[in-house]
Amino acid sequence: MNYEPRKTITKSKFYSVFNRHESIFYPYSINFYTFYIALAFYPVNFALQLNYQTTRMKISLRCTLLLCALTLLPASSVLASDAPVLDTGATAWMLTSTAFVLLMVPGLAMFYGGLVRSKNVLGTMMHSFSAMGVMTVLWVVCGYSMAFGPNVLGGWFGWSSDYFMLSGIDETIMAGGIPEYIFSMFQAKFAIITPALIAGAFAERVSFKGYCFFIALWGMLIYNPLCHWVWASDGFLFNLGARGAIDFAGGTVVHISAGVSGLVAALFLGGRKGHTHLQMRPNNLVMTLTGAGLLWVGWFGFNAGSSLSSGLSSAQALTVTQIAAAAGAMAWVIIEGIHRGKATALGFASGILAGLVAITPAAGVVKPGGALILGALATVICYLAIVMKNKLGYDDTLDAFGIHGIGGIVGAIFLVFFIRDSWMTEAATLAGGSWTVWQQLGVQATAVLIAVGYAALGTWIILFVLNKFIKIRSTDEAEMRGLDNHYHGERGYGMINPH
């Protein structure tokens, strides 16, 4: 929840440099893209929020006040500098968190790598690893700017030439007392893991080149705009309702967008050869469990780091993260125990993930009791979704949609029933009197619908166009031989046989 003051101050400084209505790079006339999106959702918006206008005025008033405070206060200080002071405690935790979130990517590589057949283990792990390469480079060149620069093209995404190659933030300390480099790198890890999650949906049948181009385009055209809308101070979802759509650490931006895009991609590419009548069992569940463990640990950086501070809100986020993961895991084992009569290790790992995904958007606002229920509820619904998947017969290979899409939606929607009172009180004040759970539910549903719609449509367009240039699906030969040998020229488990 510390997002607000930090961004208000940091981003406000750009408004003096750039006129927000004047795009430097694009003619003003192409602003209609986002105008249409905004227009399409305006009736929903309007019906939900009677106090919309007042809220916006209050937010902008708050901006102005904070800006005044920022410019006036240091003038009276001895240092006569307007830069916030570095907070070593917050910086230390954010450095740690940033490393933790990166740890999730190899964790995901192991989690996914263990679940495929042995001929595809390296190819699948490379999906996660190559995201670390592709997305980091793109983030430095344009991603950070698109996600956190001031609105351009009517708010479709942001842009600031200051962020190109991160050149303008070399000495910037943000309002929370952390260097902007850390914020930028912390956010970069989210941009890495999101496309890596999608890879689970079309594992074992995608060409390496096609995948790399897909995540590059997806990152730029889907992730960056969504990230901008939800987390940048001038993003339209950030300013929806009394205190914005609640997405503490990436329920909509990361999990819903990855899950839905994965589903679209799985349907677009079709199932694996022999899917449904050939048995395709995980090659190494030991590695999958290790990966799930790394993901759980990394998630503390993901959620508790999203407070962008080292204090009460990080402690609250960390606590509910632990609780929801445990509740999710136990719920899965119990459900599967009743349904199938066995407590499977993969079920435990899946439950951990379902719980973690559901608590991601909610980590800043729910209390431990709510986390227990959210984690367990997410597991119940994800379990049903996967049972349904097997009945419907589409090949979402590693359940990117079943866990991340469904879990993310459950978290983003049901969190409204567990919001702590202080948050609601503040929201009511901002809304000018009252703010109910149902109004927030409307805001959440709007944000989820926008994320689902944008990710689904955008992914389909990217796949359709890209497929004209590069065959995204692997050839039959490559699929039979295995991705490892065909695309990478290596063997994952070469030492098992004499050689």
Partner 1 sequence: MKFIVAIIRENQLDQVRVALIDAGVSRITVGNVSGHGRQTASEEIYRGQVVVPNLTANIRLEIAVNDDFVDKACNAIINATKANEDGLVGSGKIFILPLEEVIRLRTGERGSSAI
Q: Tell me which residues touch partner 1 (CB under 8 A).
A: 119, 274, 278, 476-477, 480-482, 485, 489-491, 494, 496-499
Q: Which is nearer to partner 1, 82 or 490 (CB)?
A: 490
Q: Which is nearer to partner 1, 43 or 498 (CB)?
A: 498
Q: Taking the complex as a whole, how short is the minimal distance between the CB of residue 497 and partner 1, in angstroms?
A: 5
Run of H or E including 151: strand 151-152
Q: Which is nearer to partner 1, 5 or 282 (CB)?
A: 282
Q: Taking the complex as a whole, how short is the minimal distance between the CB of residue 397 and partner 1, in angstroms?
A: 16
| 440-251-103 Cα angle (round to 5) | 150
- What are the strands, taking DSSP E only, across 384-453? none
Distance CA 318, CA 398 (A): 27
Which residue reads 């970069």 in tokens?
Answer: 188
Which of 281-309 are b and which e, b meaning 16 or more Cβ less than 10 Å from the residue's Cβ? ebbbbebbbbbbebbbebbbbbbbbbbbb
Q: Which is nearer to partner 1, 209 or 339 (CB)?
A: 209
Q: Taking the complex as a whole, how short is the minimal distance between the CB of residue 495 and partner 1, in angstroms?
A: 11
Distance CA 270, CA 261 (A): 14
Q: Which is nearer to partner 1, 273 or 471 (CB)?
A: 273
Q: Taking the complex as a whole, how short is the minimal distance between the CB of residue 476 and partner 1, in angstroms?
A: 7
**DSSP string across 444-478:** HHHHHHHHHHHHHHHHHHHHHHHHHHS--BPPHHH
Q: Taking the complex as a whole, how short is the minimal distance between the CB of residue 477 and partner 1, in angstroms?
A: 7
Give 240: exposed, middle or buried? Use CB within 10 Å, 0-12, 13-18, 19+: buried
Q: Taking the complex as a whole, how short is the minimal distance between the CB of residue 326 and partner 1, in angstroms?
A: 39
Distance CA 253, CA 233 (A): 15
Distance CA 20, CA 22 (A): 6
Which of 104-132 are b and which e, b meaning 16 or more Cβ less than 10 Å from the residue's Cβ? bbbbbbbbbbbbbbbbbbbbbbbbbbbbb
Q: Which is nearer to partner 1, 22 or 477 (CB)?
A: 477
Q: Taking the complex as a whole, how short is the minimal distance between the CB of residue 452 and partner 1, in angstroms?
A: 36
Run of H or E including 158: strand 157-158
Q: Where are the alpha helices (DSSP H) in 149-223?
A: 180-198, 208-218
Q: Which is nearer to partner 1, 393 or 494 (CB)?
A: 494
SS3 at position 345: helix
Is residue 204 within 8 Å of 118, Cβ to Cβ?
no
Nearest Cα residue to 412 out of 236, 268, 252: 252
Q: Which is nearer to partner 1, 12 or 207 (CB)?
A: 207
SS3 at position 14: helix
Q: Which is nearer to partner 1, 62 or 481 (CB)?
A: 481
Q: Taking the complex as a whole, how short is the minimal distance between the CB of residue 499 and partner 1, in angstroms?
A: 5
Q: Taking the complex as a whole, how short is the minimal distance between the CB of residue 126 and partner 1, in angstroms?
A: 14
